[in-house]
Amino acid sequence: MLSVLRGSQCLSAAVLQGQTVTIRRAAWAGRSEAPSLSARVARRSLPAGAGMAQCGVPLSHKGNVQTVTSDFLSADSLGPGTHLHLILLNYVLPPQTAHLWQQATTRICADGGANRLYDQIPVMLPGTDPFAAREAHLPDLIKGDLDSVRADVTDFYTSRGVPFIDLSSDQETTDLEKCLLFLEGRLPRKRLQQDHLILVLGALGGRLDHTLANLNTLYCYPHLNITLWGEGNLVRLLRAGRSVIKPSRLEGPTCGLVPLARPATASSKGLKWDLDDTHVSG
């Protein structure tokens, strides 16, 4: 699902990869609560050489229902048993970062994401001493090829005992992937999708090649519950199978479907302009 925040609301869309999708969603008009959205997805084969990278992990989750929520958008804490893991990239962080920080179990800066944290946290907390704001928001880890993190930022976090992991020898993966691999190796396999939400901040906007690489990462790690957030956009991947989306009241009323790499067929019920086995090109 792709959600674009507009003030107190955001626009929603499902991001797909060459799949057949059925969308059912109750009408928003006059409702006091956000409706739920269900999607049924059937996989298609990908033509040779087409589109996004295939990373050897099947997208199907047949027999299970993928539930997508945006609980982290509200001021309330996440539900019991749900763990939020933050990865900060080297682009503008959302103003909600300080709030999300308090909810998170794990907080990782991917290389230059440490610069963003260092620079932006004092701005997000006006009236707070900048030194105190930075002291209260120390990441658990800074990881990547470390070619972007500034010397003053390195000195500050090193002096506070924040560990750095230099993987400059690995130029086959992005800094985001390096952080995801770190998390993946430490999260339990049981109820991985249900209990562990990975929220990637600063993931959209800026350099187009970086944005496309981050979108591609969703396809490489479909077994992880990843949400990309940047410049008011929330992006999630709907895997093959059946999905139920429960939007936050901050999301909507617009919903769209975004196929990437290959076409998709979509049907919907309850939207202003419904789709009926409509072919949507990627």
CB contact set of 272 (below 8 Å; sequence gap of 6+): none
Most confident of 109-118, 210-219, 253-262, 272-281: 109-118
Mean pLDDT, rounded, for 11-17: 49
255: helix, strand or coil: strand
Per-residue tokens: 118 = 């260092």
Position 86 scores a pLDDT of: 97
Mean pLDDT, rounded, for 150-169: 94
pLDDT at 157 over 50: yes
Position 11 scores a pLDDT of: 41
* Domains by residue range for the chain, with CATH: 17-26+35-44+51-246 (3.40.50.10240)
Position 280 scores a pLDDT of: 75
Percentage of residues in the chain having pLDDT higher than 70? 65
Mean pLDDT for the chain overall: 76
Position 181 scores a pLDDT of: 93
Position 268 scores a pLDDT of: 67
- Lowest-pLDDT choice from 49-53, 109-113, 193-197, 201-205: 49-53
Cα gap 61→38, rounded to integer Å? 15
Residues 216-274 pLDDT 10s = 998 888 889 899 998 878 888 876 666 666 666 666 666 666 777 777 776 666 667 77
Cα gap 204→81, rounded to integer Å? 28
Cα gap 212→234, rounded to integer Å? 14
Per-residue pLDDT band at 33 (split at 50, 70, 90): very low
DSSP for residue 27? -
Residues 56-69 pLDDT 10s = 444 444 456 667 77
Cα gap 261→53, rounded to integer Å? 9
Per-residue tokens: 177 = 């992937």
Long-range Cβ contact pairs of 203-210 (< 8 A, separation 24 or more): 203/89, 203/91, 203/176, 203/228, 203/229, 203/230, 203/235, 204/91, 204/228, 204/229, 204/230, 204/231, 204/233, 204/235, 205/91, 205/92, 205/230, 205/231, 205/233, 206/91, 206/92, 206/230, 210/89, 210/91
pLDDT at 10 over 90: no
Position 238 scores a pLDDT of: 73
Position 190 scores a pLDDT of: 77
261: helix, strand or coil: coil
Position 124 scores a pLDDT of: 96
Closest CA to 148 of 113, 179, 172, 117: 113
pLDDT at 279 over 50: yes
Tokens 């995801």 appear where? 180
Record the pTM: 0.79
Whether the bond into 253 is cis, omega within 30 of 0? yes
Q: Helix-strand-coil percent breakdown of the chain, rounded to 5?
A: 25, 35, 45
